[in-house]
Structure 1
Amino acid sequence: MTAATENPSAWSDELMAVIHEPASAKLRLPTLIDRVVVLAETASTQDAALRIAGGKPGLMVLAVRQTAGRGRLGRTWADTSHLGLAATFVLDAARYSAEHLSLAAGVAAACAIPLRGLDQQPACKLRWPNDVVEPERPHRKVAGVLIEIKDHLALVGIGINVLHRDADWPPDLKDRAVSIFQLCQSPMKREHVAAILVRALAHHLGRPADEIARDWSDRDILRNTRRSFLHNNQTYTGLVLSIDPTNHILLQLDDGTTTSLPALTTSLVHEA
């Protein structure tokens, strides 16, 4: 299956069928998402979803092609042709805290990566703050999460690399990004990945926050590694002692002292 043979016009019907199947009722999925919109192309599913929602939560927006996706702190999200999945879920911001959404969306995205053919491999890992990475080194990025709160709505954006092959990545991403196809050498329809994702999100949003936090920490790849972080235009380098993903990063600096960096305004300096 290639991107060219997919039928995006059928995505909405298929996903609505998934949302209303009996198994989804147990996850309270119909109370989370009650409508699906699939766009042939959009600059950003986050912006499109906010516009289409009209102030009402319960919307899932997918883009066949996203041309100007963004990540945390204004970074761009690379979407190569018709190969990735770009989705935004519009939820009630009063119902979920931003911290709960961030943790649940990260774990849900990691669980939505179907590593068929890698039965002996562990599940996908998480790299603070919002990267889903392959289970083993070099921990290339396979998905990302962006949470934005606007007009009393929570916009949960999730992008997943699905159909990319080696030749599809630009030179600067070849060693840093990977797709589901590359991981399992088996093409998968993007709407099927979306179906797995919406179920996973409903499941993890229904879990207690402390339980999700433990799950997130179990997948964390930065703890006990030497890394650099940027905060207030200053770089801090040292051993990562612990990460509370929604509060702080505890770092042991080279001089032996420890420092706590605020999670919301700190960014990871990616290794070359």
Structure 2
Amino acid sequence: MESPYTDLGRPPLSAERLATALVRPGGLWTELRVVAATGSTNTDVAAAAGAGVREGLVLVAERQDAGKGRLGRVWTSPARAGLHVSVLLRPGRADDAGHPPVPAARYGWLPLLAGVALAGTVRRLAVVEAALKWPNDLLVGPVGERPAGKCAGILAEAVPDPDGSGPAVVLGIGLNVSLRADELPRADATSLALAGATLTDRDPLLRGLLRDLASWYERFRAAAGDPVGSGLLARYREECATLGQQVRVELPDDTTLTGTASDVDADGRLVVTPAGGTPVTLAAGDVTHVRPAT
């Protein structure tokens, strides 16, 4: 159902204004497209990647009808109520700045990098509390409160590179901006507006996000994907609300692990220590925060 909001409350984005601000010679972003609606921005950018489009494409949809989430989940959002953006990165190629290709083993850091950029942008511009839930969720809350509501998700997908180098990576970010309580996709979700954000204008939020994402990606490329040398590991640990929590993790093999989330390692994996047990390192899993560790 279409939102009753008018353009006055949820104005459309201008591709021309955004491109003027963000697409510059020597910069990461090379092309910026805004579409009224699509099924999935990640699917569209993955198709562009397979066709050989250069690194730096940004696709934003005002409405997404079949957005992709982790574990095959699909979600929708009212028109112009959030940011639905996917970007094309080619870390497997040397870039114009002279950075060498990033080893494929480091690609798993890219969705975590996007989370760090997103948390910083939201905290600075919207003035809400923000933290990351491993591996791909942004939690927010009113200033002075523990961030607990899911406000954004991140999905990274690898696409074979036509030139035979390491795969391209499509990074998709979905951020709830002005959704009302009755428009939220799930009970544990929230939006910037519901968290008391001082800014819900999607234009400056998108500009800030893309600038922060480009800055972190530059550091990542300059360090050849080293999360320690780039400062990414240290920052992610600071931003990650999962660390120190009692968690329940549903694993890909349909088993469940419970324990304390004790670390995120140099490969971006979550380390969970069961009560009285040996630490277990996880590359994937659906995490639920049970209660803070004591």
The structure-2 alpha-carbon separation of the partners of 1:100 and 1:116, relative to structure 1 and needing over 3 Å to count, comes to closer
1:193 and 2:190 are equivalent in the alignment:
no
1:16 and 2:16 are equivalent in the alignment:
no
The structure-2 alpha-carbon separation of the partners of 1:187 and 1:129, relative to structure 1 and needing over 3 Å to count, comes to same
User: CA separation in 2, counterparts of 1:74 and 1:245?
Assistant: 27
The structure-2 alpha-carbon separation of the partners of 1:68 and 1:93, relative to structure 1 and needing over 3 Å to count, comes to same
User: 1:224 maps to which residue?
Assistant: 244
Equivalent of residue 50 in structure 1, options 39, 46, 49: 46
The range that moved more, 160-169 or 57-66, is 160-169
Q: Secondary structure at the match of 1:41?
A: coil
Compute the displacement of 1:117 (Å).
7.3
The structure-2 alpha-carbon separation of the partners of 1:247 and 1:202, relative to structure 1 and needing over 3 Å to count, comes to closer
User: CA separation in 1, counterparts of 2:32 and 2:18?
Assistant: 7
User: CA separation in 2, counterparts of 1:55 and 1:116?
Assistant: 34
Equivalent of residue 37 in structure 1, options 17, 23, 33: 33
Note if contact 1:98-1:147 (Cα within 8 Å) is conserved in structure 2: no
The structure-2 alpha-carbon separation of the partners of 1:3 and 1:201, relative to structure 1 and needing over 3 Å to count, comes to farther
Compute the displacement of 1:161 (Å).
0.7
Q: Secondary structure at the match of 1:38?
A: strand
User: 1:62 maps to which residue?
Assistant: 60
Note if contact 1:43-1:66 (Cα within 8 Å) is conserved in structure 2: yes
Note if contact 1:85-1:160 (Cα within 8 Å) is conserved in structure 2: yes
Pairing of 1:110-149 with structure 2 (within 5 A) = 110-114=119-123, 118=127, 123-134=129-140, 136-137=145-146, 139-149=148-158
User: CA separation in 1, counterparts of 2:272 and 2:131?
Assistant: 21
User: CA separation in 2, counterparts of 1:241 and 1:188?
Assistant: 34
Q: Deviations over 1:2-45 (max 9, x none)?
A: 5633553x521111111146xxx7xx5x2x11111111110100
Q: Secondary structure at the match of 2:7?
A: helix
Q: Deviations over 1:59-83 (max 9, x none)?
A: 1000000011112232234423431
Counterpart residue type for residue 224 of structure 1 = G
User: 2:232 maps to which residue?
Assistant: 212
User: CA separation in 2, counterparts of 1:245 and 1:75?
Assistant: 28
Note if contact 2:130-2:140 (Cα within 8 Å) is conserved in structure 1: yes
User: 1:181 maps to which residue?
Assistant: 193
Pairing of 1:238-249 with structure 2 (within 5 A) = 238-244=259-265, 246-249=267-270
User: CA separation in 2, counterparts of 1:160 and 1:105?
Assistant: 12
Note if contact 1:86-1:158 (Cα within 8 Å) is conserved in structure 2: yes
User: CA separation in 2, counterparts of 1:249 and 1:168?
Assistant: 32
Note if contact 1:103-1:213 (Cα within 8 Å) is conserved in structure 2: no
User: CA separation in 2, counterparts of 1:247 and 1:213?
Assistant: 8
1:268 and 2:293 are equivalent in the alignment:
no
The two structures have a TM-score, normalised by structure 1, of 0.83
Q: CA RMSD for the aligned pairs?
A: 2.6
Compute the displacement of 1:92 (Å).
0.9
Equivalent of residue 72 in structure 1, options 70, 73, 95: 70
The structure richer in helix per residue is 1
Number of aligned positions between the proteins: 255
User: 2:165 maps to which residue?
Assistant: none
Q: Percent identity?
A: 27
Pairing of 1:248-267 with structure 2 (within 5 A) = 248-254=269-275, 256-263=276-283, 265-267=284-286
Note if contact 2:140-2:192 (Cα within 8 Å) is conserved in structure 1: no
User: 2:164 maps to which residue?
Assistant: none
Note if contact 2:115-2:154 (Cα within 8 Å) is conserved in structure 1: yes
The structure-2 alpha-carbon separation of the partners of 1:18 and 1:132, relative to structure 1 and needing over 3 Å to count, comes to same
The structure-2 alpha-carbon separation of the partners of 1:88 and 1:116, relative to structure 1 and needing over 3 Å to count, comes to closer
Note if contact 2:41-2:64 (Cα within 8 Å) is conserved in structure 1: yes
The structure-2 alpha-carbon separation of the partners of 1:194 and 1:236, relative to structure 1 and needing over 3 Å to count, comes to same
The structure-2 alpha-carbon separation of the partners of 1:34 and 1:248, relative to structure 1 and needing over 3 Å to count, comes to closer
Note if contact 1:250-1:258 (Cα within 8 Å) is conserved in structure 2: no
User: 1:165 maps to which residue?
Assistant: 180
Compute the displacement of 1:245 (Å).
7.6
Gaps of 5+ in 1: none
